[in-house]
Amino acid sequence: MRLYTHTDLDGIFSAVLISVVEEVDEIRFVDPGTVQAGKIFFNEYDIISDLPFDRRAGMWFDHHESSRPSPDRKFEGAWGLKPSAARVIFEWAENPYLEKYSAALLEVDKIDSGQVPIEEARNPTGWFLLSNTLESNAEKSEDDKYRRHVIALIKKNPDISAVLKDGWVEERVESVQGDLEKFKQLLLANTKMIGKVAFSDMRSVSEFPRGNNYLIYSLFPSAVTSVRIMPLDEEKDSVKLSVGHNIYGKKSTYDVGAAMKKLGGGGHKPVGGASVSKEQTDEIVQRIIQEINDWEGAGK
């Protein structure tokens, strides 16, 4: 079977678990927007994990609120309001052999549900550091090759200290640590506060040093929510919109996942994203920022 999974740590760990309990011949890494746009022709021999639902696939696993299935939807697999898609798979499988991954899964749960200490955002370590190595400025095929390598390492030994000692991982860790300061400067140069929103416009940026989504809140602590737009390499006519709540500050009740679902995207209440057309980007971003500020100003 062929497995389609997300590019982040949850997607990687989901692939680890699925490939242990199912016969997976090939693993492909895709962005949720690509699935939502209907650009992948799934069939009954495909498995989808940590990505939006597609009725053509044989199995589906997810945990995003925006993907909550209706009571009458029939599918093989599982959906659950869990801290990670990997947790959904772990509980669905009920396989004693997966117990060796339980300690690592707790860390994946924390990272994917936003329980990352602010010191980790500034100086990543452990599993969070590994998660920072999964994206790079290299060709997509090179990143995909690296992700498959990490999956094989975790399957063999889910001890993060052992994974981080691997030569290829060490190379990427060194690069990540060098990029973090560059990413910090990029955020400072391209972000402005609009009311209670830290808005980062990255459309004019050609190269993106690696960083993490939580660093923005250590730089703009007064922000209740962040909104970021950046180009999508594989979709020249689209822009990636990402929205998230400040996990270190005042808790917001604005439903990001629901707002992104209206744009064809999805996510959770505190974080989500969507692909939007270049022509509509400014109008959509202005409306989303206004919605958030109105919501926070109303004290909801």
Residue type, 75: F
Least confidently predicted of 98-107, 151-160, 228-237: 228-237
Q: What is the pLDDT of residues 282-291, one digit of tens each?
A: 999 999 999 9
Q: Compute CA distances 191 → 116, 131, 187, 220, whole Å.
A: 22, 24, 6, 9
Give the global pTM: 0.82
Q: How confident is the model at residue 298 (pLDDT cuts 50, 70, 90)?
A: low
| Residue 186 pLDDT grade (very low, low, confident, very high; cuts 50, 70, 90) | very high
pLDDT in tens, 115-167: 999 899 889 999 999 999 998 766 788 999 999 999 999 999 999 999 999 99
> Could you read off the pLDDT of 251-269 as tens digits, one per residue?
889 999 999 999 988 888 8
pLDDT in tens, 160-170: 999 999 999 99
Whether residue 299 is predicted with pLDDT greater than 60 in this model: the reply is: no
* Mean pLDDT value across residues 274-281: 91
